[in-house]
A = this chain, B = another copy of it.
Amino acid sequence: MENSRSSESTFRVTPLTRVRRQPKRGSYEKGDAFAILDEGLVASVGFAHEGQPLVLPMAYSRDAERLILHAATSSRFGHALANGARLCVTVTLLDGIVLARSAMHHSLNYRSVVVLGSAVELTTRVEKLAALAALVDHVSPGRSAECRPPNELELRATRVFAVALEEVSVKRRSGDPCDDADDLELPYWAGVIPLEQRAMVPIADTTHAPRADVPSTASGYTRCKS
């Protein structure tokens, strides 16, 4: 059953993943979720610590239908995950500012993914090395082969976790403002200011000159768009 479900193209909707506000902006298509996760660089990871929700920005990577996270071995977050804490991993890409004719129709254009679940710790050396390479390659494809891999000390100091991409929803807004019909003649400008995240010219380490040229993946850096 698990295998057959993971070959489907949509996530199963649950009471917690169903998009309640503005359901037309929701999606449960795996392709939509994967595209956002692959483009994003930072996840906002929520977990509870003694009843207090904490949301921390973290690097992540997608490996097929799992999300990879890592934590310092001694960290509060690592302990929480190893103890099976429920998690919410949210990735948000901001695409524009929506200026409407009325205050309440002002909005943002965005694409977001919300992943719920618990983490499984990856404990074998092979699994940990692959997951840590995936975290580096998520930020810059192929980079894990162009740097020193983790050594034994670093592996011991780092816990690696996987969260199954099962309880997942996408929510997004795009395009024009949606003003009320009665407001369309009001004497205000309305439209969208598109926002774009751009990579600038790479800056070589200023403290110790690198022993290699800037790789083309850095000088022509872009995030995957799908």
Known contacts A48-B53, A191-B204, A195-B198; 15 further A-B pairs (Cβ under 8 A): A16-B49, A16-B52, A42-B94, A44-B90, A48-B51, A53-B53, A53-B86, A55-B55, A57-B112, A102-B147, A176-B207, A185-B211, A189-B204, A191-B202, A191-B205
Give which listed residue, B89, B103, B139, B177, contacts A149 with CB less than 8 A: B103
In the bound assembly, the distance between CA atoms of A120 and B127 in angstroms comes to 46
The answer to whether B186 and A211 have CB atoms under 8 Å apart is: yes
Complex-state Cα separation, A197 to B106, whole angstroms: 20
- Within 8 Å of chain B (Cβ to Cβ): is A27? no
> Among B104, B112, B146, B199, which residue has its beta carbon within 8 angstroms of that of A193?
B199
Number of copies of this kind of chain in the complex? 2
Provide the residues of chain B in CB contact with A195, threshold 8 Å: 41, 197-200
Task: List residues 90-116 of chain A with CB under 8 A from any CB of chain B.
Answer: 90, 92, 94, 97, 99-104, 106-108, 110, 112, 114, 116
Any chain B CB within 8 A of the CB of A1? no
- B contact residues around A200 at 8 Å (CB): 193-196
Given the interface pairs A102-B148, A147-B101, the reply to whether A87 lies near B133 with Cβ below 8 Å is: no
